[in-house]
Structure 1
Amino acid sequence: MTARSAQGYEVVDFDAIPGVPCPCGTAKRGLADVEDYPGTIHITEISTDAKVHYHKRLTETYYFLECGEDARMQLDDEIIPVHPGMCIMIRPGTRHRALGQMKIINIVFPKFDPEDEWFD
């Protein structure tokens, strides 16, 4: 269980969540098991260039916590530099990947579904 439940709120300790491999690196996914929360929150560490992928249903919002000097995001055919404090909302159908080292918070709506990761 990723969250400690109490009436009216949920507490997630990301230090207690095991990381799982993902196209972007390693993700710790919180609130996935909370039925009345419509999304998931991930802490993702990217140590190498990620694989280009997209989602048909999911909207992801990346908030950059830490970035290497050369950190960038590929969004369809555009590559943009990123730095801590930036946020990018990625709509369904947008091919994307992280380039370089970074640590992000990824807010996903609806709840993350590994079946909705598509590769060309």
Structure 2
Amino acid sequence: MVIEYVGQVIRQVIADMREQRYEEEGIGSSYLFRIDQDTIIDATKCGNLARFINHSCNPNCYAKIITVESQKKIVIYSRQPISINEEITYDYKFPIEDTKIPCLCGADSCRGSLN
């Protein structure tokens, strides 16, 4: 285990409203991480360092949803030993959509987009 992704646990309807408000406020990035169909963790304003972990198409970590005392949590685990000063990354696995989000991870196996 590397770190838990923490923030406010919210429903989809709240996440949609917050995402729109964040855009209106000029917040360039929102840190919304889906747990399941109805539940999202919003780390935009009250998260930890996990929200700054970048995407890679060839990551050294992965995200896993676990249940602890009937609460779902998102935990980042390492795939391999991570060296000092090595960037921690995982695959965001964004859903496939018509509008592609360009990937800039630089991996040899880069897909070219986050979705």
Report the TM-score range of the alignment, normalised by the length of the smaller protein: under 0.3
More helix by proportion, 1 or 2?
Answer: 2
Alignment TM-score, normalising by the size of structure 1:
0.25
Higher strand fraction (1 or 2): 1
